[in-house]
């Protein structure tokens, strides 16, 4: 569970910004284990204040924070709102919610790459969808590892360590990890670079291979869930 001081800070900031509802979810709910970050779902905040509210949390809390706007309706947000404080939904249900978001990102990627004329605007949009897919993959890997009571990396090069650990724990195969490594590299470039630096040819290559990589990933995750057992919380 999160520290009491952070809980009080969240309450104070939410009251200041007149947030209607705040829901803790994810690793923030686990008893007896300090979370790596704080996961929050919020509802009822004025849209123009959302990112200011988010920034305030980032500056004042003791850990990194991820904030989800529950006004956006999806399987994931419904799951967060339904199973927030007090319970953890089944692992398979959480993974299914992540899969739904990734499938939407892939659909958006196909639309972006289908355009004949691709300016920096279209390329940057397509790159963001590639990044979204890899982000979803990382979220699923973290959920499976946490469900197995494996300590996930906390800081520094945690993205690299997460992928290595997923191979060690046999969540994904080394063969698949070699393919994902390229998307890990792209993720780093996208986060730390500029949209106008994205080249069309390598992006086209990544985007064209991504559906097959995702299909292989979902197959291996399904096997990992079967090995883990259906009742892992």
**pLDDT single digits (tens) 87-101:** 445 788 889 999 999
What is the chain's mean pLDDT, rounded?
89
Token code pair at residue 44? 């009822």
The answer on 99 and 66 residing in a single domain is no
In a domain, 84, yes or no: no
Average pLDDT score over residue span 216-227: 92
pLDDT at residue 10 above 70?
A: yes
The answer on 137 and 102 residing in a single domain is yes
Residues 84/189, Cβ–Cβ less than 8 Å? no
Dihedral sign for Cα 158, 163, 168, 171, please: positive
The answer on 146 and 186 residing in a single domain is yes
Question: What is the domain-level CATH number for residue 224?
Answer: 1.20.120.330
Predicted confidence at residue 232, as pLDDT, reads 33
Which has more pLDDT, 151 or 44?
Answer: 44
Q: pLDDT tens, 101-120?
A: 999 999 999 999 999 888 99
In a domain, 98, yes or no: yes
| 219: containing domain | 91-228
Question: What is the domain-level CATH number for residue 56?
Answer: 3.30.460.10
Q: What is the pTM of this model?
A: 0.83
Residues 40/17, Cβ–Cβ less than 8 Å? no
Which range has the top average pLDDT, 74-78, 96-100, 178-182?
Answer: 178-182
Average pLDDT score over residue span 14-32: 82
b (16+ CB within 10 A) / e for 38-65 = bbbbbbebeeeebeebbebbeeebeeeb
DSSP state of 31: T
pLDDT at residue 19 above 50?
A: yes
Lowest mean pLDDT among 62-71, 161-170, 177-186: 62-71
In a domain, 154, yes or no: yes
Confidence class of residue 204 from pLDDT cuts 50, 70 and 90?
very high
Strand, helix or coil for residue 233:
coil
Contacts of range 21-28, beta carbons closer than 8 Å, 24 or more positions apart: 21/70, 21/81, 23/70, 23/80, 23/81, 23/84, 23/85, 24/84, 24/85, 25/80, 25/83, 25/84, 25/85, 26/66, 27/146, 28/1, 28/2
The answer on 219 and 149 residing in a single domain is yes
Q: How far apart are CA 29 and CA 26, in angstroms?
A: 6
Count of structural domains within the chain: 2
The answer on 105 and 51 residing in a single domain is no
User: Which residue is associated with the tokens 């730390």?
Assistant: 192
The answer on 220 and 121 residing in a single domain is yes
The answer on 101 and 42 residing in a single domain is no
């Amino acid at each position: 569970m999160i520290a009491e001081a952070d809980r009080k800070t969240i309450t104070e900031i939410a009251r200041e910004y007149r947030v209607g509802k705040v829901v803790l979810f994810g690793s923030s709910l686990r008893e007896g284990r300090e979370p790596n970050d704080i996961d929050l779902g919020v509802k009822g905040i004025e849209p123009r204040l959302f990112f200011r509210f988010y920034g305030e949390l980032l500056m004042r809390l003791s850990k990194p924070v991820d904030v989800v706007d529950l006004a956006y309706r999806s399987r994931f947000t419904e799951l967060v709102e339904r199973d927030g404080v007090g319970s953890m939904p089944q692992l398979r249900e959480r993974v299914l919610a992540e899969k739904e978001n990734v499938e939407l990102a892939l659909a958006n990627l196909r639309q972006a790459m289908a355009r004949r004329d691709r300016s920096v605007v279209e390329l940057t949009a397509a790159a963001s969808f590639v990044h979204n897919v890899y982000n979803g993959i990382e979220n699923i890997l973290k959920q499976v590892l946490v469900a197995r009571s494996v300590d996930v990396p906390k800081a520094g090069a945690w993205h690299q360590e997460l992928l290595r650990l997923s191979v060690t724990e046999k969540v994904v195969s080394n063969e698949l990890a070699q393919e994902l490594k390229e998307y890990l590299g792209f993720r780093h470039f996208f986060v730390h670079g500029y949209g106008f630096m994205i080249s069309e040819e390598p992006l086209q290559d990544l985007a064209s291979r991504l559906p097959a990589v995702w299909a292989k990933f979902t197959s291996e995750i399904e096997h990992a869930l079967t090995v883990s057992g259906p009742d892992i919380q």
